[in-house]
Structure 1
Amino acid sequence: MKLGYHVGYWSTGAPAGVVETIAEAERLGFDSIWTAEAYGSDCLTPLAWWGSATSRVKLGTNILQMSARTPTATAMAAMTLDHLSGGRFVLGLGASGPQVVEGWYGQPYPRPLARTREYIEIVRAVVARQAPVEYGGQFFQLPYQGGTGLGKPLKSTVHPLRTEIPIYLAAEGPKNVALAAEVADGWLPLFFSPKADGFYRSALAEGFARPSARRTPDDFEVAASVPVVVDDDVERAADRIRPHLALYVGGMGAKNVNFHREAIARLGYEDVCETIQELYASGRKQEAAAAVPTAMVEDLALVGPVAKIKDELSKWEESVVTTLLVQGDPGTLRAIAEAAG
């Protein structure tokens, strides 16, 4: 199982110590580094800036939000970063949720799976550069239909470094996971747990079995974001993760449309998630975090002494996960590299 470093989202500004941590990740032999975006910093600018100081690691977006850019704009960015990095770019895409898509980007959310399929087809057509791009989809048309009538099919002025750039799809629900297996080169799970390995294997198998599937389980990447806290005190380590889980269970998405909550509830925490969501919605965020049981943290994260983490890693290695994406300082990266070694 490979290791990657996930910078994550910004809060008030750029995370401290990222340059040093990226350098340590490359020194330790990590396979990749990743940046994210939601409704603050973007993911492409930091990846280009920090990635310019690297020479070997893959550079990925986890995730680039599809509603933020047209498919052709995303393809342009992907080709540009692939050239600048010498062919190390990985395009991680995600649909996000209706609160962000409609509330921040002002784009419609309904039918995200069908929209994703069209989006990826256009990105691939631009990167392949075999002909001027024409597309007559339900959600995207090239040239645009109903405008001046002056638009014409175009072909990128840039010749791609690679005519295929790897595309990974972020997904949590079973239908979207199956779509990832069908149309993408990899899957970016959030809140993955080895306990749910069978559930996700089934969803992936459905996608791999479709006639249009591009990959097989043997050449498909699964890069899972996994919180890691190294500490001799397990409860103290879990305390670092509880607010994060409470935020995603209780504060991300609407009450009845929260894909993160659903993924965690499927692990057997339906009642707990209901409690967390009610506390968070009423403004009692500290109580919501306190309601996150240590067992839930340990299902979704690696916490505690290095020896404990090393022992638990075997469950992840036996799962569909091919790359573990971790966040933390250089010390955390060294500890997880030691445990994984």
Structure 2
Amino acid sequence: MSTYGVAILSPHLRALAETAEAADRAGFDAVWASEFYSRSGTISMAAMAAATRTCRVGSSILYGIGRSPLVLATEARDLDELSGGRVVLGIGNGTKRMMSDWHGVADTSAPALRMEELVPLVRRIWNLHEGPIRHEGRFYRMNLVPTEAVKPPARNIPIVTAGVRPRMCEAAGRVADGLAGHPLFTTTYVEEIVKPAIAKGAAHAGRDPNDIEIISMVMCSIHDDPEVARRELAQQIAFYASVKTYDLVLDVNGFTKEGQAIREAFARRDFAAMFDAVSDEMIDTMGVAGTAAQVRDGLRRYTGVLDHIMLYAPSIGIAPQRVQENLNALITECSPGLMNAR
């Protein structure tokens, strides 16, 4: 049986914490923070950890690329202590343009190899009691000699890594405890591309692919008027589909023409045409929209395909008040108790 979580977006930390608390009370397995150029994921996680009691507190995702391995490891360890051992560390590179333009990274090559170097190094830092770290890698260099005795970690913090294309999904199978999937993921893409790639990575590392948790955002919009909900979902789909990096997801699902039209409209900054280029089939395949009952029914197609279903409220071109309204509805109308009811 799949578990359920909520990806929480808010322009204010207080509202973010209050929404996380509501999700925790409603019985969700996890609440998830993200970060962008306007929001810190670690500070968001701290606010959510303080407001919740039982659910996991995850990042989907933190930019591993923007932090040194030491800073990443120490922030995660402190967050885990703050939450009482409930943190899931989700890390990713972002797109190559984010890596270069946002984080000033000169070498954006081989992002999967970068992740495969980063994850074991973070774990090694958490286990500094085993001795000094002298690491000379392709992407990271560290010479860390503790000045006093270091205690073993309280627990092994799970790490999930972001991936879309097969090689990044394979990296999760090689080194991570789970995969943080993209909002554009569909059941077809997970079954045909993601799971085989994870299995390939796991086999390379001598691991059981069933031990890698498959987590993904699912774009959801609840509204009494189903057409309003569908339009909101279309806007979010168009936003992601405008990025050429995600072409493979569109192609596998038969949406190559729509993707081309979306990117052409984006190049003209014709956002209305971008949204209009999202077909009804894309809306029905790449997310769930409609009344509360329709969204509950639509979400069930992900059961057994994803290990953890993360409800994600569209935000592109949508007022913050409406985003919060949708989040509240998702927490109330799609709680695990309702979703798992027979």
- Which amino acid is 2:307 matched to? T
Residue 186 of structure 2 corresponds to residue 193 of structure 1: yes
Work out the CA distance in 2 between the residues paired with 1:267 and 1:294.
13
> What's the TM-score, normalizing by structure 2?
0.88
Indicate the residue corresponding to 2:311 in structure 1.
326
**Structure 1 residue corresponding to 2:273, chosen from 283, 287, 297:** 287
Sort the Cα spacing of 1:95 and 1:211 in 2 relative to 1 into closer, same or farther, 3 A. same
Q: CA deviation at 1:158?
A: 6.1
Q: Is contact 1:83-1:160 (8 Å) kept?
A: no
Q: CA deviation at 1:127?
A: 0.9
- Which amino acid is 2:115 matched to? T
Indicate the residue corresponding to 2:6 in structure 1.
5
- Which amino acid is 1:109 matched to? T
**Structure 2 residue corresponding to 1:204, chosen from 157, 174, 198:** 198
SS at match of 1:39: coil
Sort the Cα spacing of 1:160 and 1:56 in 2 relative to 1 into closer, same or farther, 3 A. farther
* Cα deviation code 1:57-94 (max 9, x no counterpart): 11111101111101111001111111111111110010
Q: Is contact 2:3-2:307 (8 Å) kept?
A: yes
SS at match of 1:188: strand
* Cα deviation code 1:208-238 (max 9, x no counterpart): 212343x431x32112101111234433211
Residue 282 of structure 2 corresponds to residue 296 of structure 1: yes
Q: CA deviation at 1:19?
A: 3.2
**Structure 2 residue corresponding to 1:14, chosen from 12, 15, 34:** 12
Q: CA deviation at 1:180?
A: 0.6
Sort the Cα spacing of 1:171 and 1:38 in 2 relative to 1 into closer, same or farther, 3 A. same
1:21-170 maps to which residues of 2 (within 5 A)? 21-107=19-105, 108-129=107-128, 130-143=130-143, 153-154=145-146, 159=151, 161-170=153-162
SS at match of 2:289: strand
Q: Is contact 1:61-1:92 (8 Å) kept?
A: yes
Work out the CA distance in 2 between the residues paired with 1:302 and 1:276.
20
Unaligned 5+ runs, structure 1:
144-151, 253-257
Work out the CA distance in 2 between the residues paired with 1:87 and 1:112.
29
**Structure 1 residue corresponding to 2:221, chosen from 209, 223, 229:** 229
1:234-245 maps to which residues of 2 (within 5 A)? 234-245=226-237
* Cα deviation code 1:242-293 (max 9, x no counterpart): 121111122x4xxxxx323432332110111001000011110111011111
Sort the Cα spacing of 1:124 and 1:162 in 2 relative to 1 into closer, same or farther, 3 A. same
Sort the Cα spacing of 1:296 and 1:44 in 2 relative to 1 into closer, same or farther, 3 A. same
Sort the Cα spacing of 1:157 and 1:27 in 2 relative to 1 into closer, same or farther, 3 A. farther
SS at match of 2:238: helix
Work out the CA distance in 2 between the residues paired with 1:237 and 1:333.
16
- Which amino acid is 2:229 matched to? A
Q: Is contact 1:224-1:325 (8 Å) kept?
A: yes
Q: Is contact 1:97-1:109 (8 Å) kept?
A: no
- Which amino acid is 1:300 matched to? M
Question: Counting helix residues as a fraction of each chain, which structure ranks higher?
Answer: 2
Work out the CA distance in 2 between the residues paired with 1:155 and 1:201.
44
Q: Is contact 2:222-2:229 (8 Å) kept?
A: yes
TM-align CA RMSD: 2.0
Q: Percent identity?
A: 25
SS at match of 1:192: coil
- Which amino acid is 1:223 matched to? I
SS at match of 2:179: strand
Q: CA deviation at 1:205?
A: 1.6
Runs of 4+ in 1 over 4 A off after TM superposition: 155-158
Work out the CA distance in 1 between the residues paired with 2:247 and 2:23.
31
Indicate the residue corresponding to 1:147 in structure 2.
none
Sort the Cα spacing of 1:16 and 1:53 in 2 relative to 1 into closer, same or farther, 3 A. closer
Indicate the residue corresponding to 1:173 in structure 2.
165
> What's the TM-score, normalizing by structure 1?
0.88
Work out the CA distance in 1 between the residues paired with 2:104 and 2:149.
30
